[in-house]
Amino acid sequence: MLTPRQNLMETIKGGNPDRFVNQYEYLDIIMEASIMIGDMPMFPGNMGKDAWGVTWNWPEGQLGGFPMHDDEHKVLKDITEWKKYLKKPIIPTADEVWAPAIAHAKAVDRNEKFVTTFFAPGLFEMMHHLMGMEDALMNFYEEPEAMHELIDYIVDYELEFAKIVIDKIHPDALFHHDDWGSQISTFLAPKMFEEFFLPGYKKLYGFYKANGVELIVHHSDSFAATLVPYMIEMDMDIWQGVMNTNNIPELIAEYGGKISFMGGLHSGEIDFPEWTPEICAEYVEKACKTNGKKYYIPCLTSGLPMSSFPGVYEEVTRQIDKMSKELF
């Protein structure tokens, strides 16, 4: 029997996997190395600021928090003055701060799993976190020079983190978040995405690959089929979060061997208060039989190995194992 790491490589290389890759089983994410520093709300009913000064609010009854963009809380009210108001957070380097992450990484059997560093939010999300979605989208048109400058600034910050985390834990994989679309469309036209974000991601992912990181997994739980050629150009290995609003079999047929697709189990259809094992079984069977055994990883579209409602992630895992026994 192949290890989770070996089975993943067989799957994304078009080889001979002996079962479906089951969600996140091949990644051991070193969350202790996460840059999610600052007083971000981690449970409902809380507010707090992250390291960039963005104020987050997580209302009761909601599945997660989101930045506040009223006049009182918006970090960047004028993109042309971003240098005046924005300063990169300091990334700690002290041994005692990194000790838990280093210990976790050392405990991982790298023959079994990839030691994985996590980074969020990504370049596009940082734009609308700092100024709001409406201002961000307008500024791509009205103030492109300032937006390019700000994106370069964020890229430099990510590279600073990359250098430190590579030195500290020597990761095998990167799991990077940046949502690029809604369920039905990308937020930016492909050519605009190419202009503003492709260069930065090529620089970032190229740096990781040049420094021993074998696997780039990028989360965007959205429609992004029109961006797949750019994903390949930026050296992404796996698009995690691919929704069924993308034609996954068509994407596999066209791009399999250049990139793999992880998702196909829309969390909104499965992970909700009235979920049942039967619902999980139905969607898992359809996804596994429709999308096939190569270049595809069945997974909830959510961006970490978890579910919003207790038991859903574990039940989906059981159903994927069941399909492996049936189809392999």
pLDDT tens for residues 231-253? Answer: 999 999 999 999 999 999 999 99
Average pLDDT, the chain: 95
pLDDT number for residue 113 = 98
Question: Which of 6-15, 52-61, 137-146, 203-212 is predicted with the least confidence, judged by mean pLDDT?
Answer: 52-61
Tokens at residue 236, please?
């992404």
Q: Is residue 23 part of a domain?
A: yes
In angstroms, the CA 30 to CA 213 distance is 14
Tokens at residue 178, please?
């940046």
pLDDT number for residue 114 = 98
Q: Is residue 54 part of a domain?
A: no
Residue 34 has pLDDT above 90, yes or no: no
Residue 44 has pLDDT above 90, yes or no: no
In angstroms, the CA 12 to CA 19 distance is 13
Distance, CA of 290 to chain centre: 24
In the chain, how many domains are there? 1
In angstroms, the CA 84 to CA 63 distance is 34
Helices 277-291, 312-327: axis angle to 10 degrees equals: 40
- Cα–Cα nearest to 211, from 177, 169, 175, 178: 169
- Cα–Cα nearest to 317, from 42, 25, 13: 25
Residue that has been written with the tokens 């506040």 in this structure:
68
Tokens at residue 323, please?
């399909």
pLDDT number for residue 88 = 92
Q: Which domain holds residue 89?
A: 4-33+68-327
Give the CA angle between residues 45, 123, 121 to the nearest 5°.
30
Question: Which of 10-19, 57-66, 265-274 is predicted with the least confidence, judged by mean pLDDT?
Answer: 57-66
CB 142 within 8 A of CB 184: no
Residue that has been written with the tokens 């697709």 in this structure:
261
CATH number assigned to the domain comprising residue 170: 3.20.20.210
Residue 37 has pLDDT above 60, yes or no: no
Residue with the bigger pLDDT between 66 and 155: it is 155
pLDDT digits (tens, 9 = 90+) for 187-217: 999 999 999 999 999 999 999 999 999 999 9
Cis peptide before 121 (omega within 30 of 0): yes
For residue 239, the cross-strand partners are 218, 261
Give the CA angle between residues 279, 282, 272 to the nearest 5°.
25
Q: Is residue 139 part of a domain?
A: yes
pLDDT number for residue 64 = 85
User: What global pTM score does this model have?
Assistant: 0.96
Q: Is residue 265 part of a domain?
A: yes
pLDDT digits (tens, 9 = 90+) for 250-270: 999 999 999 999 999 999 999
Q: Is residue 174 part of a domain?
A: yes
Q: Is residue 157 part of a domain?
A: yes
Tokens at residue 101, please?
């992450």
Residue 32 has pLDDT above 70, yes or no: yes
Please give the helix or strand (H or E) that residue 236 lies within, else none.
none
At residue 39 the predicted structure's pLDDT band, cuts being 50, 70 and 90, is low
Mean pLDDT of the 167-192 span = 97
Give the number of other Cβ atoms within 10 Å of residue 284's Cβ: 25
Above pLDDT 70, what percent of the chain?
Answer: 98
Mean pLDDT of the 218-237 span = 98
In angstroms, the CA 239 to CA 232 distance is 10
- What are the φ/ψ torsions at residue 59 (nearest 5 degrees)? -65, 155
Q: Is residue 29 part of a domain?
A: yes
pLDDT number for residue 38 = 58
- What are the φ/ψ torsions at residue 20 (nearest 5 degrees)? -70, 140
Mean pLDDT of the 122-147 span = 97
pLDDT number for residue 272 = 95
pLDDT number for residue 35 = 63
Residue that has been written with the tokens 């449970």 in this structure:
43
pLDDT number for residue 36 = 52
Q: Is residue 60 part of a domain?
A: no
pLDDT number for residue 60 = 86
